[in-house]
Structure 1
């Protein structure tokens, strides 16, 4: 690979790592935010919901926008948006403003993720597979070490530092990208300028985006408000119903839309691919329930500092990074199903360990590393095996659409994990709540083991 291409890789890598880094650092910051803003976990969990909802919406839209405005322009604009959000978030007057800047940050970082891979595919012709694998390391590595970085900087400099730490990455990436990312040729900016508002709306499927956002947010507000207050009020029911109606209208609209935001018709046409996405959503529900739940448990219930929480969480990321390349070689020989079966077994073991650990309130804190290692290895297996299963189940002509749906499944699983934690824990984390969470995760992971065992025995992907 030439020196120029290496610098291009670095400039893109430093940009795309901001999305997983910021989504993972916050896992250690939640107890501190609860204390600073005097809020319960249910309310503070919107720091997670808002980021993933915005990412799920922004990434496909920005991918489309890059076709009109150019990938270089979208990438550089994303860096500017991320810079502004990172500067303003620490100045938030209240939690509401912090959520606003968190959403802006999610949009900015999503702009880079949406076009980063495409920039490498277009401009790096030699050893392209190696280049894409390096970008994957930027993404997975940032997610893996995010809790560790978050724990260290919060311990020494407070929660605003998890936003300010982005600035060196943003500035470096911008300077390198400005110099090393070539201009897009040909540019379709003139076409974009001549588009009418109605054509813009149809092009991005604005009605679909609006229905999805309103429906999902209203449903989450209704469910979380009922849990937070401890009772189901008339207003909770109304908001929840608005959410259900909005999502139902979204499904109906997407089935009829010519250029849908979320191509639901693809699910009906390819049931095997549909199951892969459902399984991927469940896998992320399991993983992120531990990822976001354990740091709060350690700090609130076991009184572990942010610094030591970050150190403990590092075992999760390291095990995941070590397992991924080993999983690749295994899957090349045996296919994805054996690895997915082993992943389910590991998550079941880790979930059972959570239950055992919460039964003994005097157990050493270091014992959480057993569950973290089990979930970390399983995540390394899943990151490769689920992608391989997607490629097996998706026709080549729709692999781009399939990849977009696949990423959305990840975000939905993450959102569901936060909803599960909020529903189980309520206002306060406790040994009992963490035990219930462990039991639920055990039941879900056992179901995955059963399904993958059936598939392994039959030697076929699931088809509905």
Structure 2
């Protein structure tokens, strides 16, 4: 791997780890924020949901902006936005301001994430799966160690430290990116010099507005599914999404090129599969720590150590997956991954309160291996399916499917456990996850066979 490519990978990896790092660090800060601002959990949990909702909207928007204005420019700007918001968040005069800076932070990390994958798609053309494996190590590693890092900083320097830690990472990524990411094509500069009205036309401002309102409505409806008022908001969001699709079919410069993507059905299948993969992964990521602490009475430290098997197996698997996928394509790795998730889910069904911790660690390891295969395999499949000129918005939608999967995982856990974590609910979770994983095996085997064969022949 030549020096410039290494710098490029380092800049993208450091930038893209900011999103999973901040989405996972906050989980250990909620209790402290409740104490500081004297709020209940339902209110402070919006630190988590606001980040996910705004990221779900911002990812494809920033992918589109990168396609139009230049990806290097958007990437560097995103690093600046993250640094400024992380610096101002600890100075928030109230919780509302803290939420606002958290949303701005999510927009900055979305600018980095959406175009970072597209930059990879365009400039890392040889042994691409190996490059994706390196990227997966950054992203998965950040998600895996986020709670531990957050707990360390909160213990020694209180909650503002989980924001301030972003600044040196962003500065380092900016330095590498400035040197390694090639300058944007001239068409990006030409678009940048257009008037604001022309910008809105190129970006499809109405399409973005409809998409944002639709996503917010749907997610609010899902997150508050027991409230009839929010159910109505969810239905309204669904209606707006219908209007959005109708608008995109007629728009001259659509925000999401629905007609174009219709010619590449593999993209839609990959996004759906990636969403289901994240439902499986985050059901364990969020569910098992609560089970271990509340039902098995493990300490937070021991729970964190046990949960590391999930993240570490992802990290160890990713580079091996990259080599395999470069040789054989993504499909075999994805089928094996789905089969492992079926095995792990069935294993969960057999658990009870007398099950050994080693057994639980092995289940988490199985899901960690499958996650390493998925992270590389799904991205490689997306790169082979998405047209180069729409790589930014395709990458943004791909990352949005991750957040949708995370939200659905939270809803699934709430539906099964309610207010009490118990082993019988864990077995029910295992049955549901086994059904989802089995569906993934069928989808990958049947729906994507021809697409992957076509991609491998290109």
Matched residue SS, 2:350:
helix
Q: Confirm or deny that 1:375 pairs with 2:375.
A: no
Q: CA separation of 1:454/1:268 partners in 2, compared to 1, >3 Å: closer, same or farther?
A: closer
Which of the numbers 290, 293, 300 marks the counterpart of 2:287?
Answer: 293
- Work out whether 1:217 is the aligned partner of 2:201: no
What are the equivalent positions in structure 2 for 1:350-365 lying under 5 Å apart? 350-357=344-351, 359-360=352-353, 362-365=354-357
Deviation per CA, 1:36-92, whole angstroms, max 9, x where unpaired?
66534x655543433233233323433444466655543333222212222333455
2:307 is the counterpart of 1:313: yes
Cα displacement string for residues 383-435 of structure 1 (whole angstroms, at most 9, x for unaligned residues): 23323444555567766664444333333323322332333344454445444
Contact 1:30 1:296 in 2 (8 A): no
TM-score by length of 2: 0.81
Distance of 1:172 and 1:313 partners within structure 2:
29
Of 322, 340, 351, the residue aligned with 1:346 is 340
Matches within 5 A, 1:60-459: 60-66=60-66, 71-92=71-92, 95-116=95-116, 134-154=134-154, 156-175=156-175, 177=177, 184=184, 186=186, 192-197=192-197, 199-227=198-226, 232-233=227-228, 235-332=229-326, 334-357=328-351, 359-360=352-353, 362-365=354-357, 367-390=359-382, 393=385, 402-452=394-444
Provide the rounded CA distance (Å) in 1 between the counterparts of 2:243 and 2:108: 28
**How far off is 1:191 after superposition?**
5.1
Contact 2:314 2:368 in 1 (8 A): yes
Question: C-alpha separation between the residues in 2 aligned to 1:3 and 1:393?
Answer: 29
Q: How many pairs were matched up?
A: 452
**Cα distance change on mapping 1:200 and 1:239 into 2, 3 Å:** same
For the 8 Å contact 1:31–1:299, the answer to whether it is kept is no
Alpha-carbon distance, 1:298 to partner: 3.5
1:39 aligns with 2:31: no
Q: Is the 8 A contact 2:133 2:322 kept in 1?
A: no
**Are 1:34 and 1:44, in contact at CA under 8 Å, matched by a contact in 2?**
yes
Return the alpha-carbon distance in structure 1 between the equivalents of residues 44 and 276 of structure 2: 23
Q: In 2, distance between residues paired with 1:96 and 1:436?
A: 37
- Give the match for residue 49 of structure 2: 49
Q: Contact 1:286 / 1:417 at 8 angstroms: preserved in 2? A: yes
- Structure 1 residue 379, shift from structure 2 partner: 0.7
TM-score by length of 1: 0.80
Q: C-alpha displacement at 1:153, in angstroms? A: 3.5
Kept in 2: contact 1:148–1:314 (CA 8 A): no
Instruction: Evaluate the alpha carbon distance shift between residue 257 and residue 187 of structure 1 in structure 2; reply closer, same or farther with a 3 A threshold.
Output: closer
Counterpart-to-counterpart distance in 1, 2:416 and 2:95: 23
CA distance in 1, matches of 2:297, 2:34: 14
Report which stretch shifted further, 311-320 or 344-353.
344-353
Mean Cα deviation higher: 131-140 or 210-219: 131-140
SS at match of 2:257: coil
**1:152, CA displacement in angstroms?**
3.8
**Displacement, 1:18?**
1.2
Tell me how far 1:126 sits from its aligned partner: 9.8
The alpha-carbon distance between structure 1 residues 378 and 30, as it changes in their structure 2 partners (threshold 3 A), is: farther
Equivalent-residue separation in structure 2 for 1:186 and 1:266 (angstroms): 24
SS of the residue corresponding to residue 224 of structure 2 reads: helix
Change (3 A) 1:122 1:439: closer
Over the aligned positions, Cα root-mean-square deviation in angstroms equals: 3.8
The Cα of 1:171 is off from its aligned counterpart by 3.4
Distance 1:460 1:204, change over 3 A: closer
Q: Is the 8 A contact 2:283 2:412 kept in 1?
A: yes
Call closer, same or farther: CA 1:214–1:191 in 2, change over 3 Å: closer
Higher alpha-carbon deviation: 188-197 or 206-215: 188-197
Change (3 A) 1:397 1:35: same
Does the aligned pair in 1 maintain the 2:214–2:237 contact within 8 Å? yes
